Amino acid sequence: MITIPRAFDTQKWQTFARTPGRHDGHSSVWGLSRRVHYHFERSGESRIQPREGADGLTDLRFSHAVTYIQAMPLDPTDFYTFAMASANSEGRLPLSRMTGWEIFPFEREGLRVVRLAEPQLPEPPRHGEGGNACRACDSEDSGIWSDEHWKLFVFDSTSGAPLVMMLQSREHFDLTDLPDDRAAEMGQLIVRIARAIEGLPHIARAHVSRWGDGGAHLHIFFFARPAGFPQLRGTCFALWDDLLPATPLDIRDADAASVVAALNGA
């Protein structure tokens, strides 16, 4: 069952109405603006396929029935209930298709999913919010590179990735609080740092990540993915970073110095 929000793109779709479900199990949702409608119906197909309807409108056929709802996203209780409907008798969710990926760092046999905890509201405050001290603001460390608004760090100890770096704003902003001028600077810096990392010998890709669940002070991570290891591609590389033996500190520092030199225009 697929759910469709009342207005998933308010700029494009202004009005939706649901046609009654037919007895053969079909159900339809029609977007009535911009002369385009979407027709979602249960079929043997596995993906959305556009086709021209009899009235000359674009018709998209989807592989599942659709439930029209008034609001998205699900509230925490509904989200938990929805998730647990797929759990087994022990309250564990099934293994996902990710466990079959060639980049997944564990063998499927013997794995099981931890039980999903019930919602905790309100969530515990992060560092730098709700009266908690901000370690980034309290620190006088300027990192290995800095300018008027930004600081770039490496960590005291190394991990499995050849190089892990963290970009941090000097002022206390979270990502969604960032003023437009700082956001523009951040975008350019991310590109420059990624370009410098990918310019290092034997580095295939710079992975860029922002989670923000531990601290309210904006910080963005860069992981240097080594060349020649397709198995380390993708989202699982952050896991591999914890599993692989730590990169020698002198090699890490030499790579970090090369990134700094690139940022300084050397």
Q: What's residue 88's pLDDT? A: 93
Give me the number of domains the chain comprises.
2
Question: What value does the mean pLDDT take over residues 5-9?
Answer: 40
Residue whose pair of structure tokens reads 């009535």 in the numeric block: 32
CATH (domain of 141): 3.30.428.10
Q: Is residue 214 part of a domain?
A: yes
148 and 257 housed in the same domain: yes
Q: What is the mean pLDDT of the chain?
A: 79
The percent of residues above 70 in pLDDT, for the chain, comes to: 73
Q: Is residue 131 part of a domain?
A: no
Q: Angle at CA 175, nearest 5°, toward 169 and 180?
A: 80
162 and 257 housed in the same domain: yes
Of 94, 115, 149, the domain-final residue: 94
Question: What value does the mean pLDDT take over residues 70-81?
Answer: 82
The percent of residues above 90 in pLDDT, for the chain, comes to: 64
Question: What value does the mean pLDDT take over residues 60-66?
Answer: 44
Q: Using CA atoms, how far apart are residues 163 and 237, in angstroms rounded to an integer?
A: 12
pLDDT in tens, 130-158: 999 999 999 999 999 999 999 999 999 99
Q: What's residue 70's pLDDT? A: 52
Question: What value does the mean pLDDT take over residues 171-176?
Answer: 96
181 and 253 housed in the same domain: yes
Q: What is the pTM of this model?
A: 0.71
83 and 140 housed in the same domain: no
85 and 147 housed in the same domain: no
Q: In which domain, by residue range, is 166 found?
A: 136-263
Q: Angle at CA 159, nearest 5°, toward 157 and 165?
A: 75
84 and 145 housed in the same domain: no
Model confidence at 238: pLDDT above 60 = yes
pLDDT in tens, 31-49: 333 333 333 333 343 343 4
Question: What value does the mean pLDDT take over residues 249-257?
Answer: 97
Q: Using CA atoms, how far apart are residues 184 and 189, in angstroms rounded to an integer?
A: 9
Tokens standing for residue 38: 């979407």
Q: Using CA atoms, how far apart are residues 81 and 9, in angstroms rounded to an integer?
A: 26
67 and 167 housed in the same domain: no
Please name which of 172, 265, 163, 167 lies closest in space to residue 224, comparing C-alpha atoms.
163
